[in-house]
Amino acid sequence: MAGSSDPDFPALGEAVAAERLIGIRFRWYSRQARRTRAAYLGLGLVQLVAALLIALSVALDVPVWFAPALGGAIALAEGVRTLFGLRDEYPTYRRTAEDLRNEAWLYSQRAGRYAEAADPASLLAERVVELSTTETAHWASAVRERST
């Protein structure tokens, strides 16, 4: 796909509208997956380093406030991870991006549901909207669960 940073995403050729429709959504979900994963892992790394420093602070001559401050950093990092649902969002975004990529491949090869479709471009548009709507519904449900 022109402009895609993913070499395993098919060019959809003559279907400029289809390429834009699925390409924009794919890139968005893929970018969100990368960002969410980086945030989740980054906060986890903060927790691990802080825990290690707490253990080392026992052996070192550090100010009395040092270990409790690191404990606070650990609690804050876990709170952010939980509040923003970073553990749950990464797989959801990645799955949706992969579903979109698979649809693009099926469409580009006129395989699966696209082989017999009277209007493959319209079917692709319906599938892209369906995948996005499903992911949004799952996200809204997860947000509601976290807020209760």
- In this predicted model, what pLDDT tens digit does every residue of 76-120 receive, in sequence order? 999 999 888 888 888 889 999 999 989 888 988 899 999 999 988
Count of CB atoms within 10 A of residue 70's CB?
21
The Cα–Cα gap between 104 and 1 comes to 10
Termini Cα distance of the chain: 42
SS3 10: coil
Residue 103 C-beta-side C-alpha neighbours within 13 Å: 26
Mean pLDDT (whole number) for 126-135: 88
Q: pLDDT at position 1, please?
A: 43
Residue 92 C-beta-side C-alpha neighbours within 13 Å: 18
Question: In degrees, to the nearest 5, what angle opens at C-alpha 136 toward C-alphas 112 and 130?
Answer: 25
